[in-house]
Structure 1
Amino acid sequence: MTPTPVGMRCPECAKQRTKVHTSRSLAGTAEPLVTYAIIAICAIAFLAGGQFGVSESSTSTWLYRNGVLFGPLVHDGELWRLVTGGFLHSGLLHIGFNMLLLYWLGTEIERRLGSFRFGLVYLTALLGGSLGALVQTTATPTVGASGAVFGLMGYALVEMRRQGVNPLQSQIGFLLIFNVVLSLRPGANISFGGHLGGLLFGALAAVVLHEAARRRGPAWLGPALLVGLSAIAVVGAILMAGQTGITDSGNVTR
């Protein structure tokens, strides 16, 4: 027998080394290519608009007119706006804050999920945010990745809770509370409905992926459930877009 830090072991066992996992190794090794691609698309779209105001940019650009989320136009069949609105931003502060949060949350979550599943989670949250924005109002145009970013927060909150971590004692919990308070301040042109919709669908995405894994279903089950959630968000958004409201294209919520 050979003495070791964990007690007496036979010579063969003493030569074995147990691999130690750190938080970094458990986070996965996949490169967050989807996160980088989303940030790049948002940056290119912002630069292509040619409007670089700090707090708010012009709403007269071609990209804005053809990509903004606007209920009456969605009702007329321009369904791509449910997605493209999430890649447009109003002002440097708007895009800067969203991209910072996207980088921080997206890189970690994508490394855990892999690029394909992360892309589906992000799309689900984005469409959920579009639904929430239209529930709040169909009369005001909406832009920004905030709904999808809130969806990543919702995903992270569910995962942390599942692992026994109190989200309110984490940086994510602080960011969520801070953004909710910011969204509710008087006079803020912020789509609280979009934030809440993204948060809800991001959390649901975490639940369905966990349930699919827990039940040991086929590999396609989790992605299929995410596609189902996305379809529900699209159908709900189409129904809400048909609601009448006073057209006010002069303002924009973010």
Structure 2
Amino acid sequence: MEPESPGTPESAVTSCYRHPKVESYVRCTRCDRFICPDCMHAASVGHQCPECVKEGVRSVRQARTAFGGRISTVPLVTYVLIGLNVLAYLGELVRPEIVDRFSMLGQGLVGPDGGRYLWQDSYPADFSAEGVAHGEWERLLTGAFLHLPPVGGGFGILHIVMNMLTLWNVGRIVESQLGRARYLALYLLSALGGSVLVLLLAPDTTTVGASGAIFGISTAYYVLARRLGADPRAVNRFMAGLLLWLVISAAVTSWQGHLGGLLTGGLVALAFAYAPRDRWRALVQAGVCVLVLGLLVVLVVGKVSALTG
């Protein structure tokens, strides 16, 4: 073996492209840059640098549910909605006047003593008008997060307990099928639809409860299950029980709110379930939600105009 010539240069020292002071002899299999052990990410072949890993993640198509939503293992929206309802109920216990101020009401009167009275076209000067028809539009949604106070043998507690149990059992399934964004849109539109029907048919009635939204979620469960080919006998029994409770609710609760949530939730669920499965699916689904919202707003504006005209 011949000795190395004095003029031969020493071998170049290579370093990590992100940490120039760290020697490295391993290259990224995608960009061919040198990387140190702290920058190495195991790949199917060799190692990759952090930038190539991020680029690869962006190029991978996100998994979707059967109805176009992002797959999530934690029903976060359901947890948040239950938490909001429970927090609102605790607020009612501390300050009962919250129910009077934020419950769903089309129009009513407040006396000088703070008492609530049914609406009448002619009322004393020391009375004041309240309700959606008189500028309190927030009642259309806030009433859906309130429940009956714990009076009358504890029915108020049963009211929120039954609603939250239903939301826990049904909401988690629907959220996993639709994804978080679509599920939240369904819930809020159903709640709004229930309040709108109360405004249209019983504007003088004070209502509270998440039942309208839950009827919408339950109807969506039925529509999605049929679309996925679930056992028709099981889902039909579920829907029959839901309709039976709608009839019973006519005597004990606000059937208008229940029916409004059922119809609105069913319409939105049909759009989610039967939108074409192509690149336009998300646009079609969003468009239907916007149309439903627009229809509800038009109905509210028309009813308010009739009440105040």
Question: TM over 0.5, yes or no?
Answer: yes
1:87 matched to 2:145: yes
Name the structure 2 match of 1:199. 262
Q: Which of these two proteins has the greater Rg computed from alpha carbons?
A: 2
Q: Which runs of 5+ in 2 are unaligned?
A: 1-69, 108-130, 149-155
Give the helix-richer structure, 1 or 2.
1
Taking the TM superposition and a 5 Å limit, the aligned residue runs for 1:177-192 are 177-185=243-251, 188=252, 190-192=253-255
Name the structure 1 match of 2:83. 40
Q: Which runs of 5+ in 1 are unaligned?
A: 1-26, 52-59, 246-254
Report the TM-score, using the length of structure 2 for normalisation. Answer: 0.61
Name the structure 2 match of 1:23. none
- Report the aligned-residue RMSD: 2.4
Classify 1:173/1:219 alpha carbon distance in 2 versus 1 (closer, same or farther; 3 Å): closer
- What is the rounded CA distance, in whole Å, between the counterparts of 1:99 and 1:167 in structure 2? 26
Deviations 1:125-172 (Å, cap 9, x if unpaired)? 111111122233001111100000000111122223333446563352
Deviations 1:74-96 (Å, cap 9, x if unpaired)? 11121111110000000101101
Deviations 1:197-250 (Å, cap 9, x if unpaired)? 1101111011112343446415333123213212312321333345559xxxxx
62, 65, 75: which one pairs with 2:100? 65
- What is the rounded CA distance, in whole Å, between the counterparts of 2:282 and 2:239 in structure 1? 31
Name the structure 1 match of 2:296. 233
- What is the rounded CA distance, in whole Å, between the counterparts of 2:232 and 2:263 in structure 1? 15
Question: Quick one: higher RCO (CA 8 Å, sep 6+), 1 or 2?
Answer: 1
- Opposite residue 147 of structure 1, the aligned amino acid is G
| Number of positions where the alignment pairs a residue of Structure 1 with one of Structure 2 | 208
Q: Is the 8 A contact 1:138 1:243 kept in 2?
A: no
198, 220, 245: which one pairs with 2:283? 220
Deviations 1:171-216 (Å, cap 9, x if unpaired)? 522430341232134xx2x111111111011110111123434464
Taking the TM superposition and a 5 Å limit, the aligned residue runs for 1:112-151 are 112-151=177-216
- What is the rounded CA distance, in whole Å, between the counterparts of 1:133 and 1:168 in structure 2? 32
Report the TM-score, using the length of structure 1 for normalisation. Answer: 0.74
Classify 1:177/1:219 alpha carbon distance in 2 versus 1 (closer, same or farther; 3 Å): closer
- Opposite residue 205 of structure 1, the aligned amino acid is V
- Identical-residue share of aligned pairs (%): 36
